[in-house]
């Protein structure tokens, strides 16, 4: 779906730019600002986040407006900007509750550390009831339709979920803290730095963040595998049948065919996960190892999930065992010992395995 880098220009007595864009888009940003006002008239630049997709065009803006004051979180935001762009600019460090009057508007800053860098903050304009939320509440969407309700609801929510699962998820406790702070504000608009602007579905995205930041899961199952000669794949399909027979929604992913980011999105609120690999050169398959690294980084604590490692093997079940160890590292509740099958799973084995999976899921499923 791509992504946008949103910067916001506030036309007040002190002309204020909230965030910039990635460096390659600097000339486009300046051209768009110039359609409204001479960029040299910018007096305030708010850098809610140091990451270069938002700060990368600061030097380009400062060429036009060298006297502008750059407001960033103190001290980490200011230090990060100095490390990237030097200390030649007029930086002003701010903390939660600090305000800045720019004319009709008084802007309030709220630090949101680790959502998803230590320097993050958001900026609130009570006059407009707008929250400039930077990365929080962003989505992987590119569209000329700028507001949430101008786009299909399911698409916006799905892309907000994908963004959360793949960017914000590791810092869910911190994101929940930030969410509670944001909920105190009277908000008509949430203007994130990626994707569309929330106007008509603010309660929906806040409710979704409530769910995601508290790691709530649904009766859903994700099965992820790679396979060399289809034996592990056949096991995965038997698991899918067994879970389906237990009345639980199943999502089956062959790692050769599906992006990790899509799998993580589905896994975010899934209660059950099965991950399978055969043994290759005494280890799990490289695709599976890559996925486990991605999972460990994004979701280091899976104590809300139940898991099983599985896979076929020729002479030593080392691959599936390695998956089991990796799942244990992510604090998954292991539903059973590693499930292995020597060479090719036959009909009798598969029928029995399917029944065992159904019974396992039923025993854990809410009545
Ligand atoms: Fe969109 Fe963390 O940058």
**Would you say the CB of residue 193 lies under 6 angstroms from ligand 1?**
yes
4 Cα: distance to centroid of ligand 1 (angstroms):
11
**Would you say the CB of residue 233 lies under 6 angstroms from ligand 1?**
no
Which residue's CA is the closest to the ligand 1 atom numbered 1? 135
Point out the ligand 1 atom lying closest to the alpha carbon of residue 138: 1
Contact 225, 276 (CB under 8 A): yes
Closest CA to 73 of 52, 51, 54, 92: 92
Q: What is the pLDDT of residue 367?
A: 57
268 Cα: distance to centroid of ligand 1 (angstroms):
20
Which residue's CA is the closest to the ligand 1 atom numbered 2? 51
* Helix (H) or strand (E) segment spanning residue 270: strand 270-276
83: Cβ–Cβ under 8 A, 6 or more apart, which residues? none
Distance CA 56, CA 25 (A): 9
Distance CA 58, CA 136 (A): 21
Q: What is the pLDDT of residue 366?
A: 77
**Cα angle 273, 276, 281; round to 5:** 150
Tokens representing 310?
A: 């599985």
**Would you say the CB of residue 49 lies under 6 angstroms from ligand 1?**
yes
259 Cα: distance to centroid of ligand 1 (angstroms):
21
**Would you say the CB of residue 20 lies under 6 angstroms from ligand 1?**
no
**Would you say the CB of residue 140 lies under 6 angstroms from ligand 1?**
no
**Would you say the CB of residue 251 lies under 6 angstroms from ligand 1?**
no
**Would you say the CB of residue 266 lies under 6 angstroms from ligand 1?**
no
92 Cα: distance to centroid of ligand 1 (angstroms):
21
122 Cα: distance to centroid of ligand 1 (angstroms):
12
Mean pLDDT per 10-residue interval, the chain, length 367 residues: 94 98 98 98 98 98 98 98 98 97 98 94 98 96 96 97 96 92 94 98 97 97 98 98 98 98 98 98 97 97 96 97 98 96 97 98 88
Q: What share of the chain is helix, strand, coil (3-state, %, to 5)?
A: 40, 25, 35
> What does pTM read for this prediction?
0.96
Which residue's CA is the closest to the ligand 1 atom numbered 3? 51
269 Cα: distance to centroid of ligand 1 (angstroms):
23
């Amino acid at each position: 779906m791509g992504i946008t880098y949103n910067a916001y220009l506030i036309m007040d007595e002190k002309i204020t730019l909230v965030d910039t864009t990635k460096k390659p888009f600097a000339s486009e940003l300046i051209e768009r600002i110039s359609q409204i006002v001479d960029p040299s008239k910018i007096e305030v630049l708010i850098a809610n986040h140091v990451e270069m997709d938002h700060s990368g065009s600061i030097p380009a803006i400062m060429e036009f407006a060298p006297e502008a004051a750059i407001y960033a979180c103190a001290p980490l935001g200011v230090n990060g900007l100095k490390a990237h762009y030097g200390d030649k600019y007029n930086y002003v460090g701010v903390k939660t509750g600090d305000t800045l009057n720019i004319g009709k508007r008084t802007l309030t800053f709220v630090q949101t550390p680790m959502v998803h860098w230590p320097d993050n903050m958001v900026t609130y304009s009570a006059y407009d009831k707008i929250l400039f939320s930077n990365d929080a509440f962003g989505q992987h969407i590119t569209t000329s339709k700028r507001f949430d309700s101008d786009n299909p609801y399911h698409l916006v929510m799905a892309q907000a979920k994908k963004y959360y699962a793949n960017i914000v998820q590791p810092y869910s406790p911190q994101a929940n803290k930030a969410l509670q702070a944001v909920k105190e504000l009277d908000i008509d608009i949430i203007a994130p730095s990626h994707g569309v602007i929330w106007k008509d579905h603010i309660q929906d995205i806040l409710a979704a963040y409530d769910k995601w930041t508290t790691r709530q899961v649904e009766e859903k199952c994700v099965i992820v595998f790679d396979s060399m000669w289809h034996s592990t794949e056949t096991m995965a399909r038997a698991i899918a049948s067994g879970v389906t027979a237990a009345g639980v929604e199943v999502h089956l992913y062959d790692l050769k065919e599906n992006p990790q980011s899509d799998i993580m999105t589905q896994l975010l609120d899934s209660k059950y996960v099965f991950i399978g690999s055969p043994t290759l050169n005494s280890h799990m398959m490289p695709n599976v190892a890559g996925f486990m690294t991605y999972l460990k980084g994004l979701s280091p604590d899976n104590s809300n999930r139940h898991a099983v490692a599985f896979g076929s093997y020729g002479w030593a079940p080392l691959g599936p065992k390695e998956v089991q160890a990796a799942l244990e590292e992510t604090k998954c509740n292991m539903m059973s010992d590693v499930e292995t099958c020597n060479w090719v799973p036959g009909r009798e084995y598969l029928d029995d395995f399917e029944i065992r999976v159904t019974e396992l899921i039923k025993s854990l499923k809410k009545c």
